[in-house]
Amino acid sequence: MALAIWFDPETQWLAAPTGRRGRQPVFTDAAIQTDLTLKALFGLPLRQATGMVASLLELAGLHWPVPDFCTLCRRQKTLTVHIPYRPSTGALHLLIDSTGVKAEGDGEWLAKKHGPSKPRDWRKVHLGIDAETLEVRAFAVTGSRIGDAPVLPDLLDQIHGDQPLGIVTADGAYDTHAYHRYGGLRGPIRGQGPPSHHRGA
């Protein structure tokens, strides 16, 4: 099994002068995001991730500097992550749903056989997917006790204004008065299934 990692030589790796007083950033957000993506992908500590990126750049024949440990620690707190996507034709039909992900605690089999050793901690992953291209256009991660409706404005804010939002398809948990006050003008919600408080009734 082989993994191909490709660096675009046209990528703007070094930041342009901002024109503001004070210390100027050396690296663009793209450079920081590349390092952090490889760190998350391979489960590496930050220092090992910087070494891996330096080796990959050398293999690619790119003489670019690599962000150091302190730079990555500082910049990852305020980094705006850009998700590349292939735009659909016409107005966007956005599919939204959420799912639970166990973040901490015993697995299902172990807890059933021996009983839970500690409480399980869950996270909710909210996804907005383009119905035409099936690419992720928006996402958010919240605690398990956060409802679906409060997250909807954050998901819609991630949709760039250069593409009109036609229809939002989601279950009834997202179809609230707050959505219609916030985003009703951007696209109607097409309900799928009963509202969450009616499930299992």
How does pLDDT run across 93-117, given as a tens digit for each residue? 999 988 888 766 555 656 666 666 6
For the chain, give percent helix, strand, coil, nearest 5. Answer: 30, 20, 45
Residue with the two structure tokens 């675009």? 8
One domain, residues 133 and 55? no
Does one domain contain both 71 and 129? no
pLDDT surpassing 80 at residue 180: no
| pTM of the complete model beyond 0.75 | no
For 56, the domain range is: 29-75
Whether residues 67 and 109 share a domain: the answer is no
Please check whether residue 146 lies inside any domain of the structure. Answer: yes
Judgement on whether residues 37 and 120 belong to the same structural domain of the protein: no
Q: How many domains in the chain?
A: 2
Q: Are residues 53 and 105 in the same domain?
A: no
If asked whether residues 68 and 150 sit together in one domain, one would say no
Residue 150: its pLDDT value, please? 85
- CA distances in angstroms from 77 to 28, 116, 126, 145, listed in the order given: 14, 34, 21, 24
Domain assignment present for residue 168? The answer is yes
Would you say residue 167 lies in a domain?
Answer: yes
* Same domain assignment for residues 141 and 174: yes
What pLDDT is stored for residue 162 in this prediction?
72
Does the structure show a pLDDT above 80 at 184?
A: no
